[in-house]
Amino acid sequence: MASYFRQSRNCELSLLEYLQTCFTNDWSDITLVKSFKQVFSSTVNLPIVCIRLADISSQRREIGSTNLEDKYLVIIDIFARSDAQRLDLADYIKEKLKNGWTHYDFSHASGDNTTLDKSANGRDFVTEFISNTKVEFGDDVEDKEKYRQTISIRVRKSS
């Protein structure tokens, strides 16, 4: 029997899948991860893009309805080799996100946590670009933090 993921997890994984495909087609040597633990692993080299779902807000679709519309706050952290690369990656990601991407429902077979199956189920769209900011920590900072950019977006799944 398959184990199906919930919508929040599917939203995060759909964006990871989409950006991985984009990077594979358009860039070389970009590592895409979904946790800071992976960013600061000694085996991962720059440039790194970290995607994480940080917050979910829900509101009723209409008065009296029990159906909720969820919006997801997604944080994308760019860890680049230089200021130029940081800016190029931020612009590239923003350009790729503006038209949305396929939302997938992911699952895996019971007992098999390594293989994911997916089926398309609508689209995810950015409803708001909240921030696109250089992160500065000063002079005494770890190499991976020197050229960091954070993009915050609000995402909604279409029906």
List the chain pLDDT tens, one digit each, 159 residues: 467 889 999 999 999 999 999 999 999 899 999 988 888 887 889 999 999 999 998 887 778 778 888 999 999 999 999 999 999 999 999 999 999 999 999 998 777 777 888 999 999 999 999 999 999 887 788 888 999 999 999 999 986
Tell me if residue 69 falls in helix, strand or coil: strand
Characterise 53 by phi-psi region: left (phi > 0), alpha (psi -120 to 50), beta (else).
beta
Hey, which residues does 156 pair with through a beta bridge?
A: 71, 125
Hey, where are the domains in the chain? 2-157
**Residues 119-157 pLDDT 10s:** 999 999 999 999 999 998 877 888 889 999 999 999 999
Tell me what pLDDT residue 142 has: 84
DSSP letter for each residue of 2-68: EEEPPHHHHHHHHHHHHHHHHHHHH-SS-EEESSHHHHT-TTPPSSEEEEEEEEEEEEESSTT---E
Look at domain 2-157 and name its CATH class. Answer: alpha beta
